[in-house]
Structure 1
Amino acid sequence: MTEVSFSTHPGSMAGFRPRFLTSRVARVAILGAVLLVSACGLPRSGPTKGQIISGSVEKGGSTHIVHVDDRVNRAANYSPAYGFSSDFRAAGQVGADEVRPGDVLGLSIWENVDDGLLASMGQSSTQLQQLQVDSQGYIFVPYAGRIRAAGNSPDELRRIITQKLESQTPDPQVMVTRVAGDGATVSVMGKVNAQGVFPIERPTRTLSSMLSKAGGVSIEPEVAVVTVKRGNSSGKVWLRDLYSNARNDIALRPGDVILVEEDERSFTALGALGGQTKVPLGNDQINAIEAVAMVGGLSTTLADPKGVFVLRDEPQSVARAVLGRNDIYGNQRVAYVLDLTRPDGMFLARDFVIRDGDTVYVTEAPFVQWQKTLSAILTPVTQLGTADGAFR
């Protein structure tokens, strides 16, 4: 509806100017905005607290909603620790002088005659170099035959060869040396300064000494993880814990594979926080308060301190302890709820340990949606009022 007013000015044509009835237009605009908001919804950083809770097992969903208290903290604060099993720690050091298949030996043989069995004319000694121990552990020595070398030290092998030669040349003198330790080696790879295959020698019998032989790590020690693979078993340890605890400095065995890599454990931060990103955990234990602080804290204009969620898949044993039930099987989806407005809420969040793969999600406060709704409603009205003013 419009009012039409006519005005006549001297020297000009008569005209008319439409004037919108503001109150009626405002009612129409508000109704249209409400319909638009209800039809299209409002933008937000993720689901609301109510929407997450509506997906609980009790309401037909697949997620267990657990409100964190002291009992839950005790049950949920399980964190897989790095370290070596007793099998790794109990393994004795390899004798650096023990001959093994693949080793290369050097023999020096002196004979107490001018024209010996092995020595050349006019020579009293014979040098036999590059004798490789075969896959069955044997070497061949002229006039002594095929001799079992593996499992003996160089000194023990010297006595065996001497006994074999005594019946054929008077008073032989034998010296045995290990030229290379190819039969007792480990592979070192990953974030080290010198990758390669290294022999287990007297100075490199332990994990720390072998890493030093490989030039040390090429990444920050605080995030370096060392994995040792031995047959079908493996173990890993923080580099820092390797040097701080002598029990982690395990003895190496032939065939070990040592891998140094940067720790990749992380959690994801989403929602009404100072930042939304994937955050490395590092080698320290991080609690929920620290996790929130690492991404800038709660957004003061958006966050609902009653709606801090930690989402994770719990293994069966932990899920049973947290839920107090023995009738659940397999991994369970759990949404832990932290209410920071409770008197002990900050303490409970401080004691809640964040694990690898967790998602820390903070919902928006209810009034934020009201603000967005009002903004969506009032903006068209303001625009129409501006347009109305333009016609005046």
Structure 2
Amino acid sequence: MMRGPFFCSLAFMALLVPVLAGCDLPSGGPGVKELTAQPQRQDSRRLFSGLVMQDITLREATIMAGQMREAEKLRVRQAIWAIDAGHSTRDPVIHVGDDLSVSILSFAGGGDTPAIMKLGHFPVLRDGMVTLPYVGAVRVVSLTYASIQQKLSRLYAAQRVFSHPSVIVQEEAPDGRWEADSVLVLGEVKTPGEVRWQPGGLMLAHVLAEAMGGGPPVPAGGPSDGQPVSVRPETVVSVVRHGQVVGALPLDDGLVNDIHLAPHDRVIVKKEASIRIPVLGGGASRPGIYSFGTCPTLADILAISGGLQRDAASSRAIFVLRRDHDTPHLLKIRFDRTYGLFVAQSFLLEDGDVVYVAESSWVPYFKVFSLMLQAGVLASIAR
């Protein structure tokens, strides 16, 4: 019988495992011990100036995330300041006999995107008043279009009929004298095209609402964007003025802020995923490059990449490699303790970061044993 020799060979191969484990077998990269070893911090060949290692606590993760969010808010504010052209210098006043078209931009039904409700056309009467739904008679004569829009927005907000209303007042100008100053809207919107300039000027939110048709952005490829799970883009609005992009900001910020456009502006709406996060290491379930429109948390990237590989990943720590002023940093998040999960929820990743999930220390031994076991079974079958 072959059972005796077969099990003897298995026992002999088990004794060889520690020896063969030192051979060059396929590996997923350095383990936790190799990453945290002192020689790694000061490379003898000067491949970099020095590796800074840091254990990330929940407090540190929260502080770092707060700093990143403040930096993003500052970037958005700077974009708003760059885009905002101020009130139109060609803003005429309203006269008796003018025919006004009044619409309300609001977030109807608690939705995420605005909708425009056209209230109708209203003449300015001899007493300088115009009678509007919900608010009644309002004096408008001698007011500029920009100022009457602000006044009516406050009146409608006080009625609590509409959610965050913004009033649009337009002059019915059949001669088309404002057509030459229209704003062009392009990209992932329902109705791309020109939006006619108004005597009171145009705000970015009004232009976006008209182009979006009261619904969410439509991808250029059709109703379904077909984005793979590895890409989570964000809808970004860019404004081109005199042939140059003066500012770009997220769609939500373009809708909620009062940003005045200039005549002949070009508004481009598109989805972007400019933040690329590689996930590496033998302990990662789905290594690869994952793209986001906004900075994801470590928990986000672990969820989208399938988390830690079962029976292969080291649960001791997850590493984030980051460069700060040309100095490489190895940020360590402990995953063998409960607080590591809370750190992952708070820790924000930025473009250029690398997430590394090491293999468990016993995985190389398991690989050797598997190879030798297969070889032993084949040898026993051959007999």
Aligned to 1:10: none
Aligned to 2:323: 313
Aligned to 1:346: 341
* Post-superposition CA distance 1:282-322 (Å, at most 9, x none): 55x632123212322222211112231122333xxxxxxxx
RMSD: 4.0
Cα drift, residue 70 of structure 1: 4.3
Aligned to 1:83: 76
> Conserved in 2, the CA contact under 8 Å of 1:37 and 1:376?
no
After TM superposition, list the pairs within 5 Å mapping 1:142-157 onto structure 2: none
> Conserved in 2, the CA contact under 8 Å of 1:93 and 1:251?
yes
Candidates 167, 181, 184, aligned match of 2:181? 184
Aligned to 2:309: 299
Aligned to 1:149: none
Aligned to 1:238: 250
Aligned to 2:131: none
Q: Give the 3 Å change call, closer, same or farther, for CA 71–22 of structure 1 in structure 2.
A: closer
* Post-superposition CA distance 1:117-151 (Å, at most 9, x none): xxxxxxxxxxxxxxxxxxxxxxxxxxxxxxxxxxx
One-letter amino acid matched to 2:31: T
Aligned to 1:214: 211
Cα drift, residue 31 of structure 1: 8.7
CA distance in 2, matches of 1:189, 1:342: 50
* Post-superposition CA distance 1:171-224 (Å, at most 9, x none): xxxxx9863435534332221234344442247610021123434532499932
Cα drift, residue 253 of structure 1: 1.1
> Conserved in 1, the CA contact under 8 Å of 2:83 and 2:239?
no
Tell me if 1:273 matches 2:257.
no
* Post-superposition CA distance 1:248-286 (Å, at most 9, x none): 230001243321111314433333233234434355x63
Q: Which runs of 5+ in 2 are unaligned?
A: 93-143, 145-172, 226-232
TM-score, structure 2 normalization: 0.58
CA distance in 2, matches of 1:32, 1:206: 75
Aligned to 1:229: 240
Cα drift, residue 26 of structure 1: 7.0
* Post-superposition CA distance 1:43-101 (Å, at most 9, x none): 23333234444674434453433221245425532245262426347642225657xxx
Q: Give the 3 Å change call, closer, same or farther, for CA 380–33 of structure 1 in structure 2.
A: farther
One-letter amino acid matched to 1:218: V
CA distance in 2, matches of 1:28, 1:346: 42
Cα drift, residue 235 of structure 1: 2.4
Candidates 38, 50, 61, aligned match of 1:73? 61
Cα drift, residue 364 of structure 1: 0.8
Candidates 253, 266, 273, aligned match of 1:264? 273
Q: Give the 3 Å change call, closer, same or farther, for CA 188–332 of structure 1 in structure 2.
A: farther
CA distance in 2, matches of 1:210, 1:260: 11
Aligned to 2:86: 92
CA distance in 2, matches of 1:234, 1:309: 38
Aligned to 1:148: none
Q: Give the 3 Å change call, closer, same or farther, for CA 200–52 of structure 1 in structure 2.
A: farther
> Conserved in 2, the CA contact under 8 Å of 1:206 and 1:251?
yes
Tell me if 1:44 matches 2:27.
yes
Structure of higher CA gyration radius: 1
Q: Give the 3 Å change call, closer, same or farther, for CA 180–225 of structure 1 in structure 2.
A: same
User: Which is strand-richer, 1 or 2?
Assistant: 1
3-state SS of paired residue (2:30): coil
Q: Which runs of 5+ in 1 are unaligned?
A: 1-19, 99-152, 154-175, 315-329
Aligned to 2:52: 64
Q: Give the 3 Å change call, closer, same or farther, for CA 212–289 of structure 1 in structure 2.
A: closer
CA distance in 2, matches of 1:92, 1:345: 48
> Conserved in 2, the CA contact under 8 Å of 1:93 and 1:206?
no
